Amino acid sequence: MTSHANNMPLEYKTQQSQMNILGFWVFLGAEIVLFSTLFASYFVLEHNTAGGPTGQDIFILKDVLIETFLLLTSSFTCGLAIHSMRSHHKTGLMVWTIVTLLLGAGFLYMEINEFIHYVHEGASIQTSGFTAAFFTLLGTHGAHVTFGIFWISLLLIQLARRGITEKTASKFFIASLYWHFLDVVWIFIFTFVYLKGMVM
């Protein structure tokens, strides 16, 4: 079922790959709705601190900035990985993907530390409406990053075994869409949770 368009990149070569990629875009559409709901609920509840700490009380902007740099850089290296893939450079794809995952793991490490810090400050998920919405929004994003690290690790094994084929290429491409999407969500979190929380 090879497509007639031969000048397409490798990941778009078969009809099934094209459908997989389109299907993943539609899935990301559903993810946008999911995160929009989490954000909207957060905006409803963010001032309901019920006498517990507010965002301003507990946020440490320096750590959040480091997390942001880690994740944004990982999105860049993820792009480099796909760039290597397009030029059939297996080692490049491998190395840049591993760098991406390491940066992602660094982000997760910082975020978990941040959460522990908040709990010590008396802001656990059970404290108030604000903390419930905050931890759920951040936690859902963090869980996505965690899932992505495990998923892409599996893809690396497949890449090592099979090399860059039509199938592995479309898998890596889809994983890269996912990774960039998490970055986009983080930009909204950084802006509308942390920055807004520090000023308002």
Per CB under 8 A, the segment of 12-20, 59-67, 91-99, 114-122 that binds other proteins is 12-20
The answer to whether residue 31 forms part of the interface with other proteins (CB under 8 A) is yes
The Cα–Cα gap between 142 and 86 comes to: 29
Neighbours of 82 (CB within 10 A): 21
Extract long-range pairs of 31-34: CB within 8 Å, 24+ residues apart: 31/181, 34/140
Q: How many residues make up the chain in this entry?
A: 200
Cα–Cα dist 80/123, whole Å = 39
- Minimum distance from CB of 119 to other proteins (Å)? 14
Rounded distance, CA 80 to CA 143, Å? Answer: 24
Residue 14: CB atoms within 10 Å:
17
The yes or no reply on residue 158 touching other proteins (CB under 8 A) is yes
Phi, then psi, of 2 in degrees rounded to 5: -70, 135
Q: Which stretch binds other proteins (CB under 8 A): 46-54, 93-101, 102-110, 184-192?
A: 46-54
Judged by CB under 8 A, the residue of 5, 6, 33, 199 near other proteins is 33
Binding to other proteins (CB under 8 A) within 56-115 occurs at: none
Q: Per-residue x/- marks for other proteins, 108-147, CB under 8 A?
A: -----------------xxxxxx-xx--x-----------
Q: Which residues bind to other proteins, rule: CB under 8 A?
A: 1, 15, 18-20, 22-23, 26-27, 29-31, 33-34, 37-38, 41, 44-45, 48-50, 52, 125-130, 132-133, 136, 151, 154-155, 158, 162, 167
